[in-house]
Amino acid sequence: MTARLAAALAGVALLAGCASGSPGPELVVFAAASLNQAFTQLGAQFEAAHPGARVRFSFEGSTTLVDQLSAGAAADVLATADESSMDRASSAGLVSGTARAFASNTLTLIVPAGNPAHVTGLDSSLDDALLVVCAESVPCGAATKRLAATLGVTLRPASEESKVTDVRTKVESGQADAGIVYVTDARAAQGVDAIAIAGAERVRNVYLIGVPATAGQPALGAEFIELVGSSSGRAVLDAAGFGSG
Amino acid sequence: MIRPPLPRWLAVPAVMAAVFLAVPLLAMLVRVPWDRLPALLAAPASMDALWLSLRTCTLSALLALALGLPLALLLSRARGRWATVVRTLATMPMVLPPVVAGLALLVALGRRSPLGAWLEASGIGLAFTTAAVVVAQTFVAMPYLVVSVEGALRSARDDFEVAAATLGAGPTTILRRVSLPLVAPAIASGTALAFARALGEFGATLTFAGSLQGTTRTLPLEIYLQRELDTDTAIALSVVLMALAALLVAATARWGRGAQAWA
């Protein structure tokens, strides 16, 4: 009994040690969900250039990230998928200095491979198709609404998802006949074909990056932002489908 | 004889447990914008979500009752390996993470599955319909009814049933006049639990049914969406959900006590 208790306590001590005992500085990056693949690659580059340093990511919707910061979460870098989230963070004093634009994203249609519902674009081909989009209250949905208004089309979606990845997975699984996502999501999706929307470039989401006021490692955070803006950072973002900032 | 008292020190961890569970719920009540509550709840999106939840949960609870009660009856008499297999399968949705339940439904009933394709060809495709919400809710809610009713049936006395049979009553008469009345409180509380579970259903609905105002966006999905935009509305809706859930849980506890008095 005592031996078992001691073993359990030792286990707890070991776990606690793992959580706190990392050798070098730790950089915490809060980034919009669409940056997942690009930033994970840049994180590996950053760790290679800073021996001992470790980069930890939290990929969430931009609004969720700003909510978490305002609730007291500590991060060294904040990268949002739209200007309004960063504006909200800046005006609440959550970001030190000015955030800078580093990438942009546009919308595209995706359909399951082979295009079973014969969708041709944002036109009458969507009338009999199950279309899934983002809800208006999240950035990708706001962009979708702006684009539809700009192009003068009325969308009749079968579902309005809270996350762009939920739109993607519904097309990937064949539940939906078409979805409107960012170009970068289309690039990362499996088993889907992208159908470019004529005039999509008229609605651009600008990605902004800055150092939160609560940063424990502000200098390291600034260095990560340098990397994102460098030519190698640009190359990774280009490969993921992002436009210039 | 008076029961001997519990040791006094138990009060310390017990109070800690009660505080731990109560504080987040009470904190929510403090944050409610009471003066704007009626306006927030009267918004079309809120009303649609509330109404949709009430309709789908009622249907799901009734489906759980209609199909789950016979299953509970058979399981309560079944023995052997197959009974164990069926009982395990029937309780699995209780312990599955909701997203897994949604994925399972998608694989089984999605448009790419043989069954889903057949349904769609027959003109009753489930994709993004209110029916899909009911399917998702029933899938996660029915096990609660099965488990609570089967438990009550197993612990119920069988001498009344034996007496009724001796007096010449047939199986259906015994079921209707003796067996079911004996476990009526458990049936009522099991149905209420199933309703409560359906009300809180989120992950399976989101994964399987989608999210569209008035069609598939139930109360929890609306709360999830509003949280991005307007925390006050999200909290107002959460309070409605909590009040409904509290009513159901209280009713369950009451009927549960009724069950004890019966046995």
Q: Output the domain CATH number for residue A112.
A: 3.40.190.10
pLDDT digit string (tens) for B142-166? 999 999 999 999 988 888 888 999 9
Residues in B closer than 8 angstroms to A129, CB to CB, are none
Same domain, A148 and A67: no
Size of chain B in residues: 263
Q: Is the dihedral of CA B130, B133, B135, B138 positive or negative?
A: negative
Domain count, chain B: 1
Rounded mean pLDDT, B226-230: 80
3-class secondary-structure state, position A84: helix
- Domain residue limits at A129: 107-202
User: What pLDDT, on the 0 to 100 scale, is given for residue A15?
Assistant: 47
3-class secondary-structure state, position B6: coil
Same domain, A26 and A54: yes
In this structure, the number of other CB atoms found within 10 A of the CB of residue A131 comes to 24
Of A63, A137, A159, the CB nearest to B128: A159
Question: Is residue A234 assigned to a domain?
Answer: yes
Same domain, A22 and A99: yes
Secondary structure (DSSP) of B55-95? HHHHHHHHHHHHHHHHHHHHHHH--SHHHHHHHHHHHHHHH
Question: Are residues A64 and B228, on separate chains, in Cβ contact within 8 Å?
Answer: yes
Question: Is residue A77 assigned to a domain?
Answer: yes
Question: Are residues A158 and B110, on separate chains, in Cβ contact within 8 Å?
Answer: no
Domain count, chain A: 2
Q: Does B226 touch chain A (CB under 8 A)?
A: yes
Domain with residue B83: its CATH number is 1.10.3720.10
Six token digits for residue A144: 């979708």
Q: Does B213 touch chain A (CB under 8 A)?
A: yes
In this predicted structure, the answer to whether residue B169 has a pLDDT above a threshold of 60 is yes
Q: Does B114 touch chain A (CB under 8 A)?
A: no
Question: Is residue A213 assigned to a domain?
Answer: yes
Six token digits for residue B54: 């009430």
Same domain, A99 and A10: yes
Six token digits for residue B59: 């249907």
Q: How far apart are CA A67 and CA B229, in angstroms?
A: 11
Same domain, A176 and A114: yes
Q: Does B210 touch chain A (CB under 8 A)?
A: yes
Same domain, A36 and A149: no
B192, B251 in Cβ contact below 8 A? yes
Question: Is residue A111 assigned to a domain?
Answer: yes
Rg, chain A, Cα only? 21
Give strand pairing partners of A195: A109
Question: Are residues B112 and A137, on separate chains, in Cβ contact within 8 Å?
Answer: no
Same domain, A154 and A171: yes
The C-alpha angle with vertex B189 and arms to B188 and B193, in degrees rounded to 5, equals 120
Query: B243 falls in which pLDDT band (50, 70, 90)?
Result: very high
Tell me how close the Cα of A190 comes to any Cα of chain B, in angstroms: 15
Q: Which residue has the higher pLDDT, B18 or B169?
A: B18
Question: Is residue B207 assigned to a domain?
Answer: yes
Residues in A closer than 8 angstroms to B212, CB to CB, are 157-160
Same domain, A86 and A22: yes
B145, B65 in Cβ contact below 8 A? yes
Same domain, A36 and A120: no
Question: Is residue A57 assigned to a domain?
Answer: yes
Q: How far from A208 is each of A37, A74, A94, B117, CA to CA, in Å?
A: 17, 18, 14, 44
Residues in B closer than 8 angstroms to A166, CB to CB, are 206
Question: Are residues A175 and B212, on separate chains, in Cβ contact within 8 Å?
Answer: no
Of B128, B216, B217, the CB nearest to A130: B128
Question: Are residues B210 and A170, on separate chains, in Cβ contact within 8 Å?
Answer: yes
Q: How far apart are CA B156 and CA B77, in angstroms?
A: 12
Same domain, A79 and A140: no
Q: Is the dihedral of CA A178, A181, A183, A189 positive or negative?
A: negative
Same domain, A139 and A167: yes
B43, B240 in Cβ contact below 8 A? no
Q: What is the ipTM of this complex?
A: 0.77
Phi, psi of A95 (to 5 degrees): -125, 135
Q: How far apart are CA B49 and CA B28, in angstroms?
A: 20
User: What pLDDT, on the 0 to 100 scale, is given for residue B227?
Assistant: 82
Six token digits for residue A87: 């504006």
Walk across the sheet containing A26-32 and list its strands.
A54-60, A26-32, A77-80, A205-212, A95-105
pLDDT digit string (tens) for B43-91? 999 999 999 999 999 999 999 999 999 999 999 999 889 999 999 999 9
- Residue among B178, B152, B149 at smallest CA distance from B166: B178
Question: Is residue B245 assigned to a domain?
Answer: yes
User: What pLDDT, on the 0 to 100 scale, is given for residue B229?
Assistant: 75
Question: Are residues B225 and A162, on separate chains, in Cβ contact within 8 Å?
Answer: yes
Q: Does B160 touch chain A (CB under 8 A)?
A: no
Walk across the sheet containing A131-134 and list its strands.
A159-161, A131-134, A178-182, A107-112, A192-195
Question: Is residue B189 assigned to a domain?
Answer: yes
Question: Are residues B106 and A160, on separate chains, in Cβ contact within 8 Å?
Answer: no
Q: How far from B238 is each of A177, B25, B60, CA to CA, in Å?
A: 33, 10, 21
Question: Are residues B229 and A175, on separate chains, in Cβ contact within 8 Å?
Answer: no
Residues in B closer than 8 angstroms to A131, CB to CB, are none
Rg, chain B, Cα only? 22
Query: pTM score, two decimals?
Result: 0.80
Contacts of A70 (CB under 8 A, 6+ apart): A89, A92, A94
Question: Is residue A245 assigned to a domain?
Answer: no
- Contact pairs from chain A to chain B, CB under 8 Å: 56
Residues in A closer than 8 angstroms to B210, CB to CB, are 132, 158-159, 161, 170, 175
Same domain, A174 and A90: no
Low-confidence ranges of chain A (pLDDT < 50): 1-2, 5, 9-21
Of B112, B211, B229, the CB nearest to A161: B211
Amino acid at A212: P
Q: Is the dihedral of CA A34, A40, A45, A49 positive or negative?
A: positive
User: What pLDDT, on the 0 to 100 scale, is given for residue B252?
Assistant: 80
Of A61, A64, A135, the CB nearest to B211: A135
Q: How far apart are CA B175 and CA B190, in angstroms?
A: 18
3-class secondary-structure state, position A209: strand
Closest-CA residue of chain A to B226: A137
User: What pLDDT, on the 0 to 100 scale, is given for residue A4?
Assistant: 55
pLDDT digit string (tens) for B183-198? 999 999 999 999 999 9
- Domain residue limits at B230: 39-262
Q: Does B169 touch chain A (CB under 8 A)?
A: no
* Per-chain mean pLDDT for chain B: 90
Closest-CA residue of chain B to A64: B228
Question: Is residue B221 assigned to a domain?
Answer: yes
Q: How far apart are CA A32 and CA A65, in angstroms?
A: 8
- Residue among A135, A130, A183, A184 at smallest CA distance from A158: A130
Q: Per mean pLDDT, which range of A164-173, B169-178, B245-254 is the poorest?
A: B245-254
